[in-house]
Amino acid sequence: MGTFFGSFQHRLSVLNIEHFIWLCAVIAIMITLAILHHKWKGDDNKIRLWRWLCLLPIITVSVHAFIYLRGFRWFFSAHLPLYAIGLFAMLPILFAKRKIGYKITAAITGLLTGVSGLYYFIMTPLYFNHSTESYTRSFHSLVRDMDRHYVLKEWKNVDFAALEEKYMPMVQEAEQAQDKVKFADAVMMFCCELHDGHVAVEVTADDGRIECASYTMSYKPREYGLAMVQLDNDDVIAVCTTEDIHKLGIEDGTVITKWNGKNILTACEEDVPDLGMSVKENADRVAAMVLSGIGGDTVDVSYIDKNGTEQTVTLSDLGEPHTQLEAFRAYRHFDTLGTDEEFRSLMDENLTTKMLDDKCGYLRVTVEATDNSLYDIFVGYATGDHAQAREMFREKLRNLKAQGMEYLVIDLRNNEGGYDEIANALCDLFTAEDKDHYGVGIRKNGSYKLTAVHGIHGDGEFADLKAVALTNFGCLSAGDGASLYLSELPNVTLAGITDPYGCNQETGGISVLSGGIIYVGYPAGLVMDGNGDPNIDTRADRISRNPVEERIPLDFDAAMKIFRDGEDYELEWAVNYLENDQ
């Protein structure tokens, strides 16, 4: 029970007081109506008045909707339980004079109100609608919201006032020109300085659709017919090259030495914008790929030709960018990256298993969630023990073992996150020891306090099974947690070309800016480690607190397998590692 109440206390710490007051007001009105009906039930005139008074809850929630949804209707679903309560209050109207009918409808209304009210109380959205404000005013409101509610403000040593001062001139320019793109870029660059994978900026189109892909970076890449990748030996080579630059002597594997006359490594360090990646080393590893889209209408590129001589050519912007995205897809082994099918494809892969050969099993985990979301929230999360997920993983692993599995690859690459309790449920099977390594807490007055431990409950059925957990910089949140928790087990090795993203706090804060065209999401709930610190997230130094144990080498041959041949080199490496470890 201690875990349950501690989890409940944690949820209270991110409660939106404004919406909670509205909920209390509606419920108070409904209780008053019930009392009045009991007193007036024998008086026809008063019952007639009572029926009209039953409209007060729906009127109240309508006022709430007018205040909080005006300019941004996407918040409707978040407040749906509150609005449903307003409708439930109308159920007894038709049965006001019928003893049995009123008792039944009143009981149904009370039950539905209780369930909806409890859900809304626990999940009260920490959402702020500034859509009716100007660019500058809404940006200031965003800074104020995050200064109050961004859970890692102290951990990352964020000076929000200084950041506002830095980017407000750009916002003012955008407001003067009514330039939505410049406004979005200013907000994006402001958020990038937090280096937090849970801070997201999204933009709505004029018709109200969400344009997730249009503003994923604070710069717009160009297309020069190649992407670049930096190898472990610091060579930068061309990959995903097109026929346009083959004619100029550059092909897959060609070593690039200069970009616009500047040494290529210097250009990677000085010319690549800060894209907000939590772990600096991850950002450095993809800097060359980002650089390949940076330049003007033309860019001078120097390379080593087949005779070992440095040559310089001028590449022209070829129009719609695609090569850089192709390279990122290959690097992350994620074919649907940047498409409308991105999340759907991950969900389709989630919790799938197969045998890679006659000895090596394979478990794919892309999201820490099950089909039973109510269990995920009200049992697994609340108690810190997701028994249902543990049994699901047990069944899958037993099935693989029945097919001859002697070792296992757990694929966490591009994991979108979810509930850490599900990651722990997997770990339960790989150790016989309990571990208080993770929990939830509260942030108050700039300090952090652990309120409930959600650790590993050692089961140990597969404690002797050797496994490799594959991760990458696209693995975040509860996926980041799964990477860390698995790496702490003696029979599991965490491996990857890059480290996981480096973020693990609970999302929940959203601020909508001017005109409803931009909204920013940020973590508001505190997730902690066994030492009482925020779990996994990097500090201002951006050093990974969740590094891989085995760095998968990225040499020339590996790059050709990944970017030219489209092979899953990391998976091949993991299988070979396990075979050689037997």
Domain-embedded: residue 509: yes
How many C-beta atoms surround the C-beta of residue 130 within 10 A? 24
- Domains contained in the chain, number: 4
Identify the pLDDT of residue 206: 54
| Helix (H), strand (E), coil (C) string for 70-114 | CCCHHHCHHHHHHHHHHHHCCHHHHHCCCHHHHHHHHHHHHHHHH
Q: What is the mean pLDDT of residues 432-446?
A: 93
DSSP string, 160-193: HHHHHHHHHHHHHHHHHHT-HHHHHHHHHHHHHT
Question: How big is the chain by its Cα radius of gyration, in Å?
Answer: 27
> Is residue 222, in this structure, part of any structural domain at all?
no
Residue 25 forms part of a structural domain:
yes
pLDDT confidence of 218, banded at 50, 70, 90? Answer: low
Q: Which of 314, 330, 346 is where one domain is finished?
A: 330
Q: Clarify whether residues 165 and 258 are in a common domain.
A: no
pLDDT at residue number 132:
94
Report the distance separating Cα 201 and Cα 186, nearest Å. 11
311 and 378, same domain (yes or no): no
pLDDT 10s digits, 332-353? 999 999 888 999 999 999 999 9
Whether residue 266 sits in one domain with residue 163: no
SS3 category, 283:
helix
Least confident range from 71-75, 152-156, 204-208, 286-290: namely 204-208
The CATH number that applies at residue 260 is: 2.30.42.10
Tell me which residue of 209, 212, 213, 244 sits closest to 226, measured CA to CA.
244
Res. 127 pLDDT band, cuts 50 70 90: very high
User: What confidence score (pLDDT) does residue 205 get?
Assistant: 60
**Claim to verify: residue 275 and residue 160 sit in the same structural domain:** no
Do residues 517 and 417 both lie within one domain? yes
What residues contact residue 239 under an 8 Å CB cut-off, 6+ apart?
Answer: 226, 227, 228, 229, 252, 253, 327, 330, 559, 563, 564
Over 90: is that where the pLDDT of 186 sits? yes
Same domain flag for 21 and 168: no
What rounded mean pLDDT belongs to the chain?
Answer: 93
Domain-terminating residue out of 330, 363, 392: 330
Average pLDDT of span 464-489:
98
Predicted confidence at residue 128, as pLDDT, reads 94
What is the C-alpha to C-alpha distance for residues 432 and 256, in angstroms, rounded to an integer? Answer: 51
pLDDT band at 1 (very low <50, low <70, confident <90, very high): low
Are residues 154 and 280 both part of a single domain? no
Q: Examine the domain organization and report whether 556 and 489 are in the same domain.
A: yes
Q: Is position 416 within any domain?
A: yes
Question: Is residue 149 one of the residues assigned to a domain?
Answer: yes
pLDDT band at 289 (very low <50, low <70, confident <90, very high): very high
Q: Is pLDDT above 70 for 546? A: yes
Residues 420 and 347 in one domain: yes
Same domain, 139 and 111: no
- In whole angstroms, give the CA distance from residue 199 to residue 559: 31
241-245, 377-381, 396-400, 457-461: the lowest-pLDDT one: 377-381
Domain coverage including residue 313: 227-330
Residue 518 within any structural domain of the chain = yes
Q: What is the mean pLDDT of residues 11-29?
A: 91
Query: Mean pLDDT, to the nearest integer, of 526-545?
Result: 96
Helices (H) and strands (E) in the chain, counts: 21, 19
Residue type, 293: G
Same domain, 32 and 64: yes
Answer whether residue 221 is part of any domain: no
357 and 406 Cβ atoms separated by less than 8 Å: no
Q: Extract long-range pairs of 233-240: CB within 8 Å, 24+ residues apart.
A: 233/555, 234/265, 235/556, 236/264, 236/265, 236/268, 236/288, 237/556, 237/559, 238/303, 239/327, 239/330, 239/559, 239/563, 239/564, 240/323, 240/326, 240/327, 240/330, 240/563
Q: How high is the pLDDT of residue 446?
A: 87
Same structural domain, 104 and 78 = yes
Q: What is the pLDDT of residue 138?
A: 97
- Residue where a domain stops, chosen among 279, 302, 330: 330
Enclosing H/E stretch for 208: none
- pLDDT tens-digit readout, 488-514: 999 999 999 999 999 999 999 999 999
Tell me the mean pLDDT in the region 164-192: 94
